[in-house]
Structure 1
Amino acid sequence: MRRYGPAVLLALVGAAILRVSLFSELYLRYVQAGLRPYLVVSGAALVLLGAAVAAVANRADHEQDHEHGHGDGGHAGHGHGPGGPRVAWFLTLPALALLLFPPPALGSYSAEREAARSAARGVGAFPALPPGDPVDLTLGEFGSRAVYDSRRSLDGRTVRLTGFVTRGGDGTWYVTRLLVSCCAADATAARAEVRGAQAPPADTWVTVTGSWHPEGGLGSDAAWPPVVDAASVRRVTQPDNPYEKR
């Protein structure tokens, strides 16, 4: 069995990658949608490589049995060939975890650990918002317009924001979304303080409809995080892609 260890490990890792990328949308918890083809190809390649390694090991077993059948009894046919260090079997644990119990997307714990926020753009004029209220905005766009838009395009508009609930140390609460460029490892938080509504439990996904409440001057620390006066807060299910693109 030890001879087949590398084949089993390769197949497990490949199957885990295919499970989250080809047969479900779970990969969106970890990477951007554009990386799906690369995940599918790499998962399939690992499964095929595992099959090839198993075939080589099986052939080696047959050749060894053939040698023994011709009277080469001086060698015990057990443990010949490199089976890899036994500690490598510990790699089956994360592979099985991803295959059977994929970890959830990052949530409030990750968002609350972020100590600082860097601005994607400075103060300036933003394009006009589309007509009609409420207007659906990402948390990233809402924050950028609230803090940096010299045209104050959010004035008098009703916005609709979707994210998960995080809490502040002073009883405030926020609708939050994590922004990623490539994958969950580079995630940063975008959030808006919600006023006028009771906070649902942390990590609950909600859609907040309300209006922007200006705070501080353009581009100032006092303007961040932006504030929304909630007219309604509705619980929703987590979207397939829990992240916003940065």
Structure 2
Amino acid sequence: MALRFASLGSGSKGNATVVEGGGTRVLIDCGFGLRETAARLARLDLLPQQIDAILVTHEHGDHAGGVAPLARRWNIPVHLTHGTARSHRAFAGMALHCFDADVDFEIGALRIRAFSVPHDAAQPCQYRVECCGVGLGVVSDLGHVSANVVHALQGVDALALECNHDPQLLAAGPYPPSLKARVGGDWGHLANAQAAQLLARLDLTRLQHLWLTHLSEVNNSPAHALDAVAPALADHALQAHCANQSQGFDWCEVVA
């Protein structure tokens, strides 16, 4: 048996990651509308009604905008922090499974660790999912690398990691000063070099897959992101890959 994961799309226009193991299948975030979500799931040979639960990281539209419609249409349980539930009007009146960040819980065969991250949202978290003797980290939308994030991701077998922007491209780009300050601030998004610094602090011995996610289409490029993380991978027989907005990435199997 193996754990596997795939991305429906990754970027500022929408994010969603499918994780499957032991007969349980969850969707981490959903920033796409109903039809778009169904079409993207179909590329993975999945139907919306095959999703057992949705895990929400935070309330921003590119992550949570499609969660309530999908959950209501197909009666899918939604798991999220108390702060995220209170901050999004779309969740009002829904039966939600709320928790405080930095907790472990189980959904079917999957062991979930929700860990808090520094981001400008109500009570944001990211996730580590374990099953079949392996662990996957899915982390984006954080302004800096906290000790809590490093601890949560130690020893993972696969990792989907935000590489949102190149600081020089951000500084020279078209964003207004206020947005540049937000994106590049301690509660915004992870720069390529910060992602590389996180990798340097992790034990990568077991790492089988590394996907760089949430790349800005304006302030970054796959070449910039891959060049930034290359030194952290120099001692490991591992190739990083970049997820994109339109396709995400196909199934990746993580074996024990």
TM-score range, shorter chain: under 0.3
More helix by share: 1
More strand by share: 2
Question: TM-score normalized by structure 1?
Answer: 0.25
Which of the pair has more CA radius of gyration? 1
